[in-house]
Amino acid sequence: MSLQIKNVLLFALLSASPALLGQPYFLDGEDPKPSGQSWQAVERLSDDFEDGDLDLEKWSIVPTDNGWSWIGRAPGIFLPENVSESDGKLKVTVSDLPSPLTINGNTYLYQGAIVRSWTTGGPGMYFEAKMKANATEMSSTFWLKPKPTCEKNLELDIQECVGLTSALTHSWAKDWDQIYHSNAWHHKSNCGPSVATSRPKKMVPPTPNHERYYVYGLWWKSETELLFFLDGEHVYTINPSVDFDMQSYIVMAIETYDWNPVPSDGGKIVSGSLEERTTSYEWVRVWQLSDTISVSAGSDQTVILPENSVQLSATVSDPSAVTSYQWTQISGPSSATLSGANSSSLLANYLVEGNYQFQLSVTDTNNELVVDTVNVAVRPNSIPSINSFKLPYGERNTAYSQSLDVTEGEQPLTWTLIGGNLPAGLNFSNGVISGTPTETASAQLTVRVEDNNGDQDQQDLRLRIVENLPGGNLSFTPTEDAYIEGSNPLNNNLIKIEDGRRVAYLKFNVSGIDGSVDRARLSMKVSTDGGNGTIRFYEGSHDSWTETSLTNANKPATGRQIGSISGQFNVGSTYHVELTEHIQSDGIYSIVVMMDNGGNDAWFSSKEGASAPLLTIESSQAIDTFSLWSDLQFAGLSGGSSHPSAAFNASYQSGELANALIYAYDVDPGESKLITPHLPKLSPTELSFVLPNEIPEDLSVRIEVATTLHSGNSWNTHYERSSNGSWPAPVSVSDNGNGTSTIRLSRGTDDQCFYRLRFTQAAE
């Protein structure tokens, strides 16, 4: 996205940062670039002075570096210690010398400095600096100087002024403390002119040069045409007396002049404040027109939470001309982390709500820098999002009910089962799976929710119905509950919650969870006074409190929000808040309960009241994973899960399975210590099946291969699982991240058609 400045106040323009915009500093309609070309930053000559240390690889501050010899015009000498970088600015401070210096017959009483670039620029480039002059008799300048030759000794002054004139100032220079003055000098030289020629131009800016920052600019359009700009506006053009065709160094010299003599008492150089004695450069930037490559950071994007990442891709007209990519974040919340910042594609992660701007900088084979920006808006989710990712197991012939959780979306919501079939006895309506399952099953389902705006979300779910479901629900009442009203802690039969005045504190000691938590829900009943509003539940910062000792001094602070309920709270009604993400294991949990401002207080029953708060934990997955896996493998076979081998043999002997399929076989279904399940995934190229990662220690597991099933010793090739879960080659294992792993074995020769997965249990 290309940004332009339009219809804004001059002050706002002067406060902006053109580097962030990736273009020179021009008012609307003042940019002189030709059609079809764009300005590209010349990094080697540009500096925003923002890191606190002057880049001495770009700038020379020793007057005699790089073959130069000028150390200053007496009585002012250039000394490098007067140059500094701070507060995002290059600063040159002037003062008197502790004692006079005499060098080469010249006496120096005052000190300034000279800053030169190490590299050069030339015709076609645009040079600009944002500078505030010092307020002394010494100068503030921004100019260009090539190394002289015998024929040419050129000088191109972009801005030259002083901070203060006096009665001693020559008459022609009385206005040089409020001036924009430029000049194109052709100095005398050995093989050139014997008399210097110049082409000066000037204008009067709104204020003296030391009162505020001005942006001084030059477009070196050609060897014969020089366009000068003040605060982004073209003010005059100079046509030099000779061709200005020499590569030149940037110069910023703070010096004395014989035509603006320093008073005998040192004037402002001695009496001025530090600020008055300092010339400040907020930035120096150089640009070059280029049509070699064009770069786009892509279209602006919008990310909807909870999605918190975005992929940005560069488009370049000639990728082969690119030597480097660099992505940076230049505005927005500081949460983002960048991956691939040095490639054409950027992945920004951990975005939060807000507006981000990212900058793409591309360097080409000409060492030119091309910059573009892209905006990313991160907005709260207004599209329905299904937050149920797993379903609790159900038990055959036992009532089952599970509501699917959805956030956002404009009511009403419409739910549809779009994939899979529910186990017999169950139905799906209004986001609830309910009924009494009549058979064991493992069903893969896909559900979709659509809101009133037509926005949709869908989710894949697996529902497992087993014969017997160990575990069950656990219920806990608070071990401590109280509330603080203002500065008064109260412990009675009520929990009062009111915006800004009454905050409640609950503590639960959760124990007995065997396995993972499917659902954790806190229920609270309104006692004697109803209310309305939004009540929010937060993690407490510590558990070292009791209901009898709670005070404002030792109360838990609020951590992250873990739940909320909104609406009308009626006397006698019970309200529920889902805390599943917060409570996943045994432990002590402190919860802080607060109402948003503007709500009407509600009084809930405490543990001393008639209906104590109740924390219900559903932990139906406390099931031996191996037993459950084995049970589910045979749920669809005749014979049921209690006789897996017999069920499979019946399928095989009835001719339902062709030899080309991969399957297991057990010649003796009566062996109580042998389990040979039907392999769940079939493939013409490989054996592929899923096993739980946790398998009982007394079971050995191996894959067996046979070419014929005529006798019990046909399984002449086998691969056995080690106790640490690894398999010998060529068997491969990949962890699925959900407590299971996929095991793969490439098929052998065509006659190896029979495979079985064999579990042998050690004799007791």
Domain ranges of the chain: 47-283, 295-379, 385-466, 473-618, 625-761
521: nearest Cα among 604, 473, 577: 577
Decide: 280 and 132 in contact? Cβ < 8 Å: yes
* Strand boundaries in 123-247, DSSP class E: 125-132, 139-145, 154-162, 180-186, 201-203, 214-222, 225-230, 233-238
**What is the per-residue pLDDT for 10?**
36
Task: Please name the amino acid found at residue 587.
Answer: G
Give the sign of the dihedral formed by CA 717, CA 721, CA 727, CA 731.
positive
Q: In this prediction, what percent of the chain has a pLDDT beyond 90?
A: 57
Which has the closest alpha carbon to 457: 389, 377, 376, 378? Answer: 389
Provide CATH code, domain 295-379: 2.60.40.10
Give the three-state DSSP class for 73. Answer: coil
438-467 pLDDT, tens digit per residue, is: 987 878 899 999 988 788 899 988 887 876
The residue behind tokens 């004395």 is 256
Kindly indicate the confidence band of residue 369, based on its pLDDT and cuts at 50, 70 and 90.
Answer: confident
Residue 369's CB is within 10 A of a number of other CB atoms, namely 22
**Residue bearing tokens 């080690």:** 722
**385-466: same fold as 295-379?**
yes
Structure tokens at 566: 């909104």
Residue 694 token pair: 């946790």
Candidate from 244-248, 527-531, 587-591, 679-683 with smallest mean pLDDT: 679-683
Q: Which residue has the higher pLDDT, 22 or 451?
A: 451
Helix (H) or strand (E) holding 625: helix 625-633
Per residue in 541-559, pLDDT (tens digit) is 999 999 999 999 999 999 9
Tell me if residue 160 is catalytic. Answer: yes
Q: pLDDT category, 717, cuts 50, 70, 90?
A: confident
Question: Whole-angstrom Cα distance, residue 303 to residue 311?
Answer: 10
Cα(654)–Cα(485) distance, integer angstroms: 76
pLDDT surpasses 80 at 276: yes
- Residue carrying structure tokens 């009898």: 548
Evaluate if residue 632 carries a pLDDT over 50. no
What phi and psi, each to the nearest 5 degrees, are found at residue 452?
-65, -20
Q: How far apart are CA 689 and CA 703, in angstroms?
A: 11
Query: What is the SS3 assignment for 144?
Result: strand
Contact 564, 545 (CB under 8 A): no
pLDDT at 146: 95
The answer, yes or no, to whether residue 712 has pLDDT greater than 50, is: no
| 200: helix, strand or coil | coil
Task: Reduce the DSSP state of residue 252 to 3 states and report it.
Answer: strand
Residue 746, pLDDT above cutoff 50: yes
Contact 664, 753 (CB under 8 A): no
User: What pLDDT digit, counting tens, does each position of 303-338 carry?
Assistant: 988 789 999 999 998 888 899 999 999 999 998 999
Strands (E), 596-694: 602-605, 614-618, 674-675, 686-692
- Return d(Cα 275, Cα 272) in angstroms, integer: 8
The hierarchical CATH code for the domain 385-466 is: 2.60.40.10
Per-residue pLDDT averaged across 611-637, rounded? 58
275 is catalytic: no
Phi, psi at 424, each rounded to 5° = -55, 135
Q: What is the mean pLDDT of the chain?
A: 83
Amino acid identity for residue 32 in this structure: P
- Residues 412, 482 contacting (CB under 8 angstroms): no
Tokens encoding 15: 């406060």
Q: How far apart are CA 579 and CA 585, in angstroms?
A: 12
Which helix (DSSP H) or strand (DSSP E) does residue 11 occupy? Answer: helix 10-15
Mean pLDDT, rounded, for 704-728: 70
Query: What fold does the segment set 473-618 form as a domain?
Result: Jelly Rolls (2.60.120)
The active-site residue out of 85, 128, 155, 498 is: 155
Residue of higher predicted confidence among 634 and 717: 717
Residue pair 476/614 in contact (Cβ under 8 Å)? The answer is: yes
- Find out whether 458 and 447 touch, Cβ atoms under 8 Å: yes
From CA 302, how far away is CA 314, in angstroms rounded? 17
The gap from C-alpha 389 to its chain's centroid, in whole angstroms, comes to: 25
In the chain the first and final C-alpha atoms are separated, in Å, by 73
3-state secondary structure of 359: strand
Separation of alpha carbons 414 and 431, rounded Å: 8
Active-site hit among 85, 128, 137, 160: 160
Per CATH, the number for 47-283 is: 2.60.120.200
Q: What is the 3-state secondary structure (H, E, C) of 635-653?
A: CCCCCCCCCHHHHHHHHHH
* Mean pLDDT (whole number) for 370-384: 87
State the pLDDT confidence band at 470, using cuts at 50, 70 and 90: low
Instruction: Assign 754 to helix, strand or coil.
Output: strand
Q: What are phi and psi of 77, to 5 degrees?
A: -110, 150
The predicted pLDDT at position 698 comes to: 62
Indicate if the pLDDT at residue 341 is higher than 90.
yes
* 195, amino acid identity: V
- What is the rounded CA–CA span in Å between residue 443 and residue 725? 28
Q: Which pair of structure tokens corresponds to residue 318?
A: 């000639």
Contact between 325 and 342 under an 8 Å Cβ cutoff? The reply is yes
